[in-house]
């Protein structure tokens, strides 16, 4: 059975990250808007992962998304390597990070996306290893 994942929120998030924000919105408000899109994307991602019965397909799906968003980040920031630490992610999730520019808002969301995809992939790999033991 072929499962077709939903990509509505993914497409909205990609469009927002690919566009230039209007100057009427401040960087903090813009970051909050991007974060709301990220939350919708995360819900959609979880629903898509539940639709697959095969761990390998979930891993492939997450790898494809990770590559896609890393590619977008590379075009945005001219680097493919994204340095992420746990404290930074926690401050992004709790909106305690300082956002002084629109570029910082984009970088924070990209880091959150890539971190989230990495963690979900790691969780699925662990589940797969546990399942294989039994």
Strand segments (E) across 1-134:
none
pLDDT at res. 1: 44
What token pair was written down for 32?
Answer: 């909050």
CB atoms within 10 A of CB 25: 14
Per-residue confidence at 23, pLDDT binned at 50, 70, 90?
confident
pLDDT tens track for 41-54? 999 999 999 988 88
Read off the pTM. Answer: 0.90
* CA pair distance 67, 63, nearest whole angstrom: 6
- Residues whose CB falls within 8 Å of the CB of residue 73, separated by 6 or more in sequence, listed in order: 79, 80, 82, 110, 114
pLDDT tens track for 65-91? 999 999 999 999 888 778 888 888 999
């Amino acid at each position: 059975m072929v499962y077709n994942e939903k990509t509505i929120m993914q497409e909205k998030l990609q469009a927002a990250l690919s566009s230039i924000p209007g100057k009427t919105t401040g960087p903090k408000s813009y970051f909050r808007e991007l974060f709301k899109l990220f939350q919708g994307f995360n819900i959609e991602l979880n629903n898509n992962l539940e639709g697959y019965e095969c761990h390998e397909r979930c891993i492939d799906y997450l790898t494809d998304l990770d590559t896609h968003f890393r590619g977008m980040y590379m075009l945005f920031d001219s680097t493919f390597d994204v340095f992420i630490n746990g404290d930074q992610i926690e401050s992004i999730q709790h909106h305690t990070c300082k956002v002084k520019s629109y570029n910082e808002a984009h970088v924070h969301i990209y880091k959150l996306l890539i971190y989230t995809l990495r963690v979900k992939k790691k969780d699925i790999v662990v589940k797969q290893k546990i399942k294989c033991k039994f």
